[in-house]
Amino acid sequence: MGRIILYLFLLLLVCTETSAQTGSKDDGYKITGRIVGLPDSDLFLVTDNEVKIDTLANTKSVNGNFFFSGQVNEVIMVHVITAKQEILASMMLENAEFTIMGPNLVGGGGPSQELLARFNQLDVEMVQERERLQQFYIEAEKRKDREKMAEVDAKFQRFLVDVQAKELDLLKRNADTYVAAYIVSSTMRDIDLEKLTMRYNILGESAKETYYGKAIAAQIERYEHVEIGSVAPDFSLDNTTLHEVKGDLKIINFWAAWNAPCRAENVNLLRIYEQYHLKGVEIISVSLDENQQLWRKAIMEDGITEWRHITNFDGKYTEMIQSYCLQSIPYTYILDEDNVIVDKGLSGDILRKKIRELLKKK
C-alpha cells in the first residue's frame, strides 16, 4: 500500500546510480502517452536527487497524447509530471519503449520495469484482499460478533504474512538490482530497525551502492542513534538545547493537535508533570502541527502550558524530527540526566509506571 501511495502523491528521492542497463544505448527510450481527458499542457520527465528536480525531457500533451524520447546510460526512477507537479506516472526508465495509458498505468518497458510491476502486483493483491475482508469485518462489527471479527482479522494477518513472504522471496531472487534497493527503501521509515537491517542485508553489493541502497544505510544509522542506550540527538530550545536542560529524567513527546490519541496523552503527561516535576522530571513537547492557531488552542485546552514546547512551522526542526525516526504519534522518548535514551514508545499508565520505577533508582 505504501508504495502505491508514494507513486501517486510523492516525488521520490532518486539519483542515477544503478546496477543494470538494458537495451541498446543507440536505441534510446520512447514513452508514448495516451490518456483520455488529459488537458493540453506542458509535461515533464523528471528525476530528483534530494536537492532539486532534474528535468530529463519536456513535451506537450495534445488531446491526451504526448511523447518523450532520449537515452539513458543506466536504470533510473522517473516520473511524468504536469506543470503543477502532479504525477501522471512513475517508471523504471531504461532504453526501451513505454506506453502510459492512464494515471500511473504504465505498459512496456524493460526488465527493471517488469520487476517493479511484479512487486507492485503484490501490493495490489494486498489492498484488494483487505478491502474484500473489510466488508465482512464491518458486517460482523454491526452484529457485534466479536468472534467473527477476530476470525476475519486473523485471516487477513495470515494473508499478509503470505504476501510478505512472497515479496521477500522476490527480493532474494533479485537482490543485486536497482529495483530491489528501491523496494526496500520505499518502506524503510515504516518498519523497525531489525526488519530493515534484515532486508538491507539481503541486497547485493551493487544494489547497496545505488542511491536507494545508501539511503537505507543512512536510515539504519538514524535508527541506531535512537536505540535504547544511545545518547539522544540534540536540538535547540530557545536559548538552550535539549542536552543542556537539567533534569533527572526528560520526556520528549512528539504530538499534533489534530491527533486524538495525542490529545489524550497530553492529559497523561500533565498528570506525570504535576506528580513528578519537583522530583526531577522535565517534559519537552515537539509539535508536528502546521496550523499554529490550532496548536496554541490545544495547549491551552489541555492545560500543558508549564513545560517547553517547540514547533516546526518554519521547517527549523525537520531534520531533527527525521532523526528521531517517528513511525507514529504520540511517541515518547525517556532520557536520563546524561541524555541517554532509557526507554521509548511508552504512553498512558505504562509510561507513568516507568517514570516511577526510574525515579526510585535515583
Which of 162, 227, 163 has the alpha carbon at shortest distance from 197? Answer: 227
Is residue 212 in some structural domain? yes
**Dist. CA 173–CA 120, nearest whole Å:** 16
pLDDT (mean) for 86-101:
94
Structural domain boundaries, residue 207: 113-225
Q: Are residues 23 and 94 in the same domain?
A: yes
Is residue 61 in some structural domain? yes
Task: Give residue-wise pLDDT tens across range 12-61.
Answer: 333 333 333 334 445 799 999 999 999 999 999 998 655 456 788 999 99
Residue type, 181: A
Spell out the residues 6+ positions from residue 222 whose beta carbon is closer than 8 angstroms to its own: 322, 323, 325
pLDDT at 182: 94
Q: Are residues 164 and 88 in the same domain?
A: no
**Dist. CA 2–CA 135, nearest whole Å:** 21
**Dist. CA 16–CA 64, nearest whole Å:** 29
pLDDT at 92: 94
- Provide the sign of the torsion angle of the four alpha carbons 215, 219, 220, 221, taken in this order: positive
Task: Give residue-wise pLDDT tens across range 319-335.
Answer: 999 999 998 999 999 99
**Dist. CA 152–CA 86, nearest whole Å:** 37
Q: Are residues 94 and 155 in the same domain?
A: no
Q: Is the pLDDT of residue 342 over 80?
A: yes
Beta pairing class for 281-287 and 308-310: parallel
Q: Are residues 96 and 209 in the same domain?
A: no
Q: Are residues 69 and 181 in the same domain?
A: no
pLDDT at 53: 62
Task: Give residue-wise pLDDT tens across range 96-116.
Answer: 999 999 888 999 999 999 999
Q: Are 232 and 254 in contact (CB under 8 A)?
A: no
Is residue 340 in some structural domain? yes
Is residue 244 in some structural domain? yes
**Dist. CA 243–CA 21, nearest whole Å:** 49
Q: In what order do the strands lie in the sheet containing 105-108?
A: 65-70, 29-34, 97-102, 105-108
Is residue 7 in some structural domain? no
- CB burial of 340-354 (b: ≥16 within 10 Å; e: otherwise) equals ebbbbebbeeebbeb
Is residue 246 in some structural domain? yes
pLDDT (mean) for 178-193:
93
pTM of the model: 0.78
Q: Are residues 146 and 220 in the same domain?
A: yes
Q: Are 191 and 198 in contact (CB under 8 A)?
A: no
39 preceded by a cis bond (ω within 30 of 0): no
